Amino acid sequence: MAKRVLLAAPRGYCAGVDRAVITVEKALELYGAPVYVRKQIVHNVHVVASLESKGAIFVDETDEVPEGKTVVFSAHGVAPLVHQQAAARSLKTIDATCPLVTKVHMEAKRFAAEDAEILLIGHHGHEEVEGTAGEA
């Protein structure tokens, strides 16, 4: 008996992504537009377009954010170097990293401190992989 599986398009997202989207919306309420967001807050064109229409500006790196402005880090997390670069430019940072990603970052730090070999498997260049690798 063949089964049929239907997938909604677009599909919903996890609690960490939901939290990150709400974080950008709250930042827009508190600080007004524009609020800069490093990388796409989520990999969902509909969500990104909705946030852009409200005044979010998505950038690839913190050096694209005017000094002293607010930048939100995406649900995927960032490496410590990104935090340092933002601080050097007097950016107000809001970290919307998913708590589960933060947990992975903490484990990477712990294993690195123990001088353990870490094998990280993921998509080369993806924010989550770059952030985790930066922790080790």
The residues carrying an active-site annotation are: 128
**Residue 52: C-alpha distances to residues 32, 35, 93, 109, 115 (Å):** 13, 9, 18, 34, 43
Contact 123, 95 (CB under 8 A): no
| Beta strand ranges found along the chain (DSSP E) | 35-38, 56-59, 70-73, 92-95
Omega cis (within 30) before 99: no
Q: How many CB atoms lie within 10 A of CB 136?
A: 17
